[in-house]
Amino acid sequence: MSRTLYDLAAADPTLRFSPYCWRTKLALAHKNLDFETVPWRFTDQDVIAFSGQGQSGGKVPVLVDNGTVVHDSQSIAEYLETTYPQAPTLFGDAASRALTGFVKQWTEDTLHPTIVKIVLPDIFKLIDPKDRTYFRQSREPRIGMTIEALAARRPEFLPPFQAALAPLRDTLKAQNFLAGVTPAYADHIVFGALKWARTTSSTALLAPDDPISLWMERLLSYYGLRNQPPASSA
Amino acid sequence: MSRTLYDLAAADPTLRFSPYCWRTKLALAHKNLDFETVPWRFTDQDVIAFSGQGQSGGKVPVLVDNGTVVHDSQSIAEYLETTYPQAPTLFGDAASRALTGFVKQWTEDTLHPTIVKIVLPDIFKLIDPKDRTYFRQSREPRIGMTIEALAARRPEFLPPFQAALAPLRDTLKAQNFLAGVTPAYADHIVFGALKWARTTSSTALLAPDDPISLWMERLLSYYGLRNQPPASSA
């Protein structure tokens, strides 16, 4: 029985910051599945060539579950739900799964773009030096400016981030988790985004008593991960 | 057996534009409940005094269901779910209900503020002349400028509206309704916001072939309301 997750790492191998890898780590915890992680850098293409993602460049998370290889966080979540149906459900019933689809799109279309503008220059400093050329060449065309120009504009990106968080904050004032009394994959998706922000930002983005910070702690506690990050095993 | 809904109307009594009243009309249709509507204007306070909302001013929707009076769209939805449990569910299971809470907050915190900036001056022209003093005095402090100043800035409010819609549009490219194969209250909440925009905006805000427009038509068709708005009975 072996289960290995290739998990994006910074120069410091214990610093794991990918929002998509965090989704998978929480989904595995939700399914009560043990796993080891392998710290992976953007340019370690040969290491995950076995995942068959083709010449355009492979990405993590890549999960190897007793010999079965699955890549892409959404595919991994669906694989886990199908393969381990006796464990707690990630998606709930059909309506809950569909609503989780909206939470995913909100996270990727609204929340991620506000975060990336803030933390991209911080990430550039944190990643392994061997990744920096790839990172600059792949990210600067997407953001339409240099990393240094983005860094200079950081203050203007903070208010849109806070504005985007309003519905999340207001929801978490009224309920423990996005999925209700206990967390589910909708929580994992949004947590991934904010853990990415928290682990990379050079300044604190949320006060410790913010309902969103409290929810993040509650989520980690629920899975017994508060003082034991699941990424530290490898 | 009688069921009456007090429904916000413009000077034209057939023009019903309240996003909250639309939630209730769709929730009633979802529960297969017939109802009559009474066109109501902002200053018709005496007409809904029986709803007991107090001196700060009553609002619609107000539902009178065989003598039971319920106000506030959320309270009405919960009342309908409890009172008519054999009819199709509005909220689904506990996780689905909780995720609907996030959709509600997203609608009210992110979507409504982008819409109100665009349509408030249009609404001012459409409402009954007797409502105009109330409307101006209540809305201008909230928006921090005159209705005329807001109207002059309309072009700058269109891009944020489109940006806010991205997660909704992307979700509806992948599934029929927010709640999946069939609609539920999460759909009603978001539909209410966009119906409010559509019925009041002086310019079309969405192309007819936009996935969001197609979803709105699909939702009305699902309830048999496409050519028969439920507000026309009174």
pLDDT of residue B229: 52
Residue-wise pLDDT tens digits, B183-220: 999 999 999 999 999 999 999 999 999 999 999 999 99
Residue-wise pLDDT tens digits, B2-13: 999 999 999 999
What is the rounded (10 degree) CA torsion for B206, B210, B211, B217? 70
Side-chain-side CA neighbours of A233 within 13 Å: the count stands at 14
Interface with chain B: mutation pick from A102, A168, A182, A190, highest number of B CBs within 10 Å: A102
What residue of B is the nearest CA neighbor of A105? B167
Please give the C-alpha separations between residue B1 and each of B4, B64, B68, B77, in angstroms, as whole numbers.
10, 11, 12, 19
Residue in A102, A181, A184 closest to B178 by CB: A102
ipTM entry: 0.95
Q: How far apart are CA A182 and CA A58, in angstroms?
A: 33
Q: Is B69 helix (H, G, I), strand (E, B) or coil?
A: strand
Q: How far apart are CA B173 and CA B149, in angstroms?
A: 37
Paired tokens of B164: 């806010």
Radius of gyration, alpha carbons of chain A: 17
Average pLDDT of B108-131?
A: 98
Q: How far apart are CA B59 and CA B44, in angstroms?
A: 10
Give backbone dihedrals phi and psi of B150, rounded to 5 degrees, phi first.
-65, -45
Residue in B166, B170, B186 closest to A99 by CB: B186
Sheet (strand A68-71) strand order = A36-40, A3-8, A62-65, A68-71
* Amino acid of residue A226: R
Residue-wise pLDDT tens digits, A66-114: 999 999 999 999 999 999 999 999 999 999 999 999 999 999 999 999 9
Give residues with Cβ within 8 angstroms of A209, minimum separation 6. none
On chain A, the residues whose CB falls within 8 A of the CB of B184 are 95
Using CB atoms and an 8 Å cut-off, which of residues 91-120 of chain A contact chain B?
Answer: 92-103, 105-106, 108-110
Q: Which residues of A101-117 are buried (b: 16+ CB within 10 A; e: fewer)?
A: bbbbbbbbbbbbbbbbb
- Does the pLDDT of residue B231 top 70, yes or no? no
- Does the pLDDT of residue B107 top 90, yes or no? yes
Among the ranges given (A143-157, B43-57, B66-80, B114-128), the one the predictor scored with the smallest mean pLDDT: B43-57
pLDDT of residue B234: 39
Give residues with Cβ within 8 angstroms of A91, minimum separation 6. A77, A81, A97, A100, A184, A185
Paired tokens of A177: 């988790």
The alpha-carbon gap from A191 to the nearest alpha carbon of chain B, in Å, equals 14
Give residues with Cβ within 8 angstroms of A183, minimum separation 6. A26, A30, A177, A219, A222
Low-confidence ranges of chain A (pLDDT < 50): 231-234
Interface with chain B: mutation pick from A81, A99, A161, highest number of B CBs within 10 Å: A99
The model's pTM: 0.96
